[in-house]
């Protein structure tokens, strides 16, 4: 579907697409769909040619799948393979797109802002720079559950004022769920403080403390690569992580992708934008169903569908085509 036709089709729908970030990868992802639909492996071949190694092999074998530099292009490609299949099967064009962290690149490819080849190169570099910015084991992340956002920010400030290093709110995922990132000592101290305050804290198995000030050195280098990359204004609005707004210029796209490395992911606000704009149906376009499950908490989202298996894809296609009035 051309950019103009995609844009026109999108305006009439009540559907939004969201693309997941790191943590959604799993060995064998999309295997059943690839057996039925050639577009899946074709998309992986296209992205593999851009980065110079076999992304489908990583996705199926699991070799290196949890190493940030490989995780990022694999997840991006899986998401775009599903997006292309959705359109091939007659799925409606969404009114809005958004991606959680890394998923923002998938959203931009879907919106015609970045080519898949350029996006694959960017996220491969992004993963390398993020890994280089903080020595292995020096950073950490944790999910904090059961507190208001302001309380999490307050506790982070208490710990950061001591001698543990810094810890900051990294992902505002939903009401009562905030992920923090920082030095390992600071995150460990925060986990203990949260438990002292009768909250729940879960250390996350990550190698990089994303979306915090420790990533500023990576962002400075990454900005240079973004300047050399061809970027168009999205033909479907992409709600950005850093400000929960759609970019109005290409410069705003570049600035948001740079800032995204060290600023918080405003996912709660992104979902509020969807609700305010009359979105009722949400498709999670990538492996797993983390974002679909988060969306089920929202009163105005009638249905949230993952798309990563043939059964899930068919359920979503049928339900949304009926809901959008495309079939009776």
Residues 187, 188, 192, 195, CA torsion sign: positive
Please compute, for residue 56, the number of CA atoms within 13 A of its CA located in the half-sphere on the CB side. Answer: 18
Relative to beta strand 265-266, strand 177-183 is: unpaired
The reply to whether 79 belongs to the active site is: no
With CA atoms as reference, report the closest residue to 210 among 286, 126, 118, 121.
126
Is there a catalytic annotation at residue 280?
no
Question: Which of these is catalytic: 79, 101, 160, 264?
Answer: 101
The answer to whether 23 and 106 are in contact (CB under 8 A) is no
DSSP state of 76: H
Please tell me the distance from the alpha carbon of residue 151 to that of residue 153, in angstroms, as a whole number. 5
Q: Compute the distance between CA of residue 319 and CA of residue 261 in angstroms, rounded to an integer.
A: 36
Nearest alpha carbon to residue 119 among 132, 103, 135: 103
Residue 2 CB contacts under 8 Å (≥ 6 apart), including other chains: none
Q: Which of 48, 106, 211, 264 is catalytic?
A: 211
Catalytic annotation, residues:
101, 211
């Amino acid at each position: 579907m051309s950019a103009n036709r995609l844009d026109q089709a999108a305006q009439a729908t009540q559907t939004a697409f969201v693309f997941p970030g790191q943590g959604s990868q799993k060995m064998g992802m999309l295997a059943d769909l690839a057996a039925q639909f050639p577009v899946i492996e074709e998309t992986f071949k296209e992205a593999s040619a851009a980065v110079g190694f076999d992304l489908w092999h990583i996705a199926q074998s699991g070799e290196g799948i949890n190493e940030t530099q490989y995780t990022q292009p694999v997840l991006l490609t899986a998401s775009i393979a599903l997006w292309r299949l959705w359109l091939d099967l007659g799925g409606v064009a969404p009114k809005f797109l958004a991606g959680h962290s890394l998923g923002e690149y998938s959203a931009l490819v879907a919106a015609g802002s970045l080519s898949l080849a350029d996006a694959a190169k960017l996220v491969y570099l992004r993963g390398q720079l993020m890994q280089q910015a903080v020595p292995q084991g020096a950073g950490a992340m944790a999910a904090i559950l059961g507190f208001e956002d302001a309380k999490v920010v307050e506790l982070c400030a208490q710990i950061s004022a001591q001698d543990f290093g810094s810890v900051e709110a990294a992902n505002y995922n939903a009401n009562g769920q905030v992920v923090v990132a920082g030095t390992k000592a600071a995150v460990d101290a925060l986990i203990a403080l949260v438990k002292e305050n009768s909250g729940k804290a879960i250390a996350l198995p990550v190698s990089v403390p994303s979306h915090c000030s420790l990533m500023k050195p990576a962002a400075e280098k990454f900005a240079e690569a973004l300047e050399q990359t061809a970027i168009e204004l999205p033909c479907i609005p992409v709600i950005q992580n850093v400000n929960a707004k759609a970019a109005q210029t290409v410069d705003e796209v570049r600035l948001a992708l740079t800032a995204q490395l060290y600023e918080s992911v405003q996912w709660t606000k992104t979902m509020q934008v969807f609700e305010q704009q009359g979105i009722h149906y949400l498709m999670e376009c990538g492996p797993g169903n983390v974002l679909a499950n988060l969306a089920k908490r929202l009163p105005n989202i009638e249905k949230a569908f993952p798309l990563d298996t043939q059964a899930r894809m068919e359920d979503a296609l049928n339900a949304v085509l009926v809901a959008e009035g495309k079939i009776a």
